[in-house]
Structure 1
Amino acid sequence: MYDQSKLSELIRFARVEAGSAVIDVYPGDGDWTRLFSDVVGPEGRVTSFVPAEVAHFKNDPVGRMRTLAKEPGRENVAAVSADLVAIGEAAQPADVLWLHLFYHDLHTALIQARGATAARFNRAVYDLLKPGGSYVIVDHAAAVGAGASDAQSLHRIEPASVREEVEAAGFVLDAESAMLANKDDPHAIKVFDPAIKGETDRCAYRFVKP
């Protein structure tokens, strides 16, 4: 996770606030789900959405989010799992959909095995969000010109490709931030490499459904 100042800035960037309805896609350890739960308060709700594509992982991602939802004070959290392209059937309309370090996976064999593609998922998100809702994406940047070619091997995607694909679904770019940029990232090594792990150059986009 990030330091407190960046966490606060990212939450503001995502426009998550008291009363918001937020969907946290592929929540991992649930850190963002907990943060959003605290911010939205009792009048808001957080859907911790575990893609069915990863539900079989040995760390039991669905069970972990169901346990999280039972923690004291987490009455505003619901753990949900379904195929990525079926997110609109599994989740309620939301103000914000949060995708942290996962967008590139839409271009990997694991995620596409059940029929998900970036185009199909982006359209499902568009249909799910409320008018004026925010689709917020933070991901590891690939080199200029790489497109999505490094998604499988390096777990990176070129920011320009993210923007092009999301705008193709009907979204409008509302804001981008360089708060997670790292000009010293060589962009040619896997994001898990000790030389760059936790310090990768990252893009941050906020798209809006008109």
Structure 2
Amino acid sequence: MKIRLAFGLSAALLFAGMAHAQQAGQDQPPGELVPPTSASDFTAGQLDAVLAGSWRSAPNKARDVYRHPKATLQFFGLQPDQTVIEITPGGGWYTEILAPLLRDNGHYIAAVSGGNGGEDQQNAASLRSKFAADSTEYSKASIVIFNPKAPVLGPAGSADMVLTFRNVHNWAEAGTAEAMFKAFYAVLKPGGTLGVVDHRAAAGASLDAVKDSGYLPTDYVIKLATDAGFKLDAQSEINANPKDTKDYPKGVWTLPPTLTLGDQDRTKYLAIGESDRMTLRFVKVAKASSPASSGTTAH
């Protein structure tokens, strides 16, 4: 694909020193990306190339201005050789970014709920169709189906990163949030990262007062994670929107992209843009070994 060629050429320049150090018989073919030799962060050029990818739909690209995927993934510390599980990716907005980024050296896994009947089956079928339609970009991507009431996302300690975008409010309303965060902790390796983005309620708002609106108190989400065993590592304002007043007749769905009210005050809500969102990074802290062992901390 044309974008892959451009991606390879720019990356070759970025990694010129690395390529020069390779033996003559190990040179990459022209136009191919010189693969990283360690789990260093993705470069800005690599992220930009995938964000510009021809496989991404035009409506999805148009939302980059609101979802800030480059800065968000850099904040979470995404790395080329990681196994990354995205929870409930829906139509695959972030799938179109994460799966191609991780294709060559990592592994992208879409975790889809199996507990909501037709909608969940439709989401899984849509992702499978997306993967089959472009085997170049999605050749290593896979899907795991989980029970939302007793979620298992993979073998214990098998993932480097778990990411969830705008899902926690659904679990809070369904009463499954605690189980989901425990599942995140179980599937991550010690030292693994949990990245969470969700609609942020006004300061001081209680969960009971706002959970039907789609917004959540930040301290509630932090408590979900820390109760499951995580440590809050950092917060970011990457996805903040100070124009969001959070007091709409149909909750967060009043704003784009849903625009539940249709043409009613459409110009007003488009001018506000998408919701104000918290962006939180958590770490699964390595537990100290038992007294009978060496007494060191596992890594």
For normalisation by structure 2, the TM-score amounts to 0.63
How far residue 33 of structure 1 moved from its aligned partner, in angstroms, is 1.4
Structure 1 position 80 matched with structure 2 position 139: no
Given residue 82 of structure 1, which amino acid in structure 2 is its aligned partner?
A: F
**192-201 vs 171-180, greater mean Cα deviation:** 192-201
Counterpart for residue 183 of structure 1: 242
- The aligned counterpart of 1:128 is 187
1:159-208: per-residue Cα shift (whole Å, max 9, x none)?
A: 11111121111101111100111223212221111427742110000100
Asked if 1:44 corresponds to 2:44, the answer is no
Partner Cα distance (2:113, 2:120) in 1: 14
Instruction: Specify the alignment match of 1:168 in structure 2.
Output: 227
Q: Do the aligned residues in 1 keep the contact of 2:156 with 2:188 (CA within 8 Å)?
A: no
The answer to whether the 8 Å contact 1:81/1:90 transfers is no
Q: Which residue of 1 aligns with 2:16?
A: none
Q: In the alignment, which residue of structure 2 is the partner of 1:205?
A: 280
RMSD: 2.4
After the TM superposition, which of the residue ranges 145-154 and 159-168 deviates more from structure 2?
145-154
Distance (Å, rounded) in 2 between the aligned partners of 1:77 and 1:56: 23
Pairing 1:27-66 to 2, within 5 Å after superposition: 27-57=89-119, 60-66=122-128
Q: 1:4 to 1:108 in 2, by over 3 A?
A: closer
Q: Which blocks of at least 5 consecutive residues in structure 2 are unaligned? A: 1-62, 256-268, 286-299
- Equivalence for 1:139: 198
Per-residue displacement from partner, 1:55-88 (whole Å, max 9, x unpaired)? 5218811101111222222111002212133223
Which protein has greater RCO, CA pairs closer than 8 Å, 6+ apart?
1
Amino acid at match of 1:95: D
CA deviation string 1:34-62 (max 9, x = no partner) = 21112223221111111113352188111
Structure with the higher fraction of residues in helix conformation: 2
Detail structure 1 runs of 4+ shifted over 4 Å in the superposition: 89-92
Q: Matches of 2:82 and 2:162 in 1, distance apart?
A: 11
Percent identity, please. 25
Q: Unmatched 5+ residue regions in structure 1? A: none
Aligned equivalents of 1:177 and 1:139: distance in 2? 12
Aligned residues: 204
Asked whether the equivalents of residues 156 and 186 of structure 2 are also in contact (C-alpha less than 8 Å), the reply is: no
TM-score, length-normalised on structure 1? 0.87
Q: Which has the larger radius of gyration?
A: 2
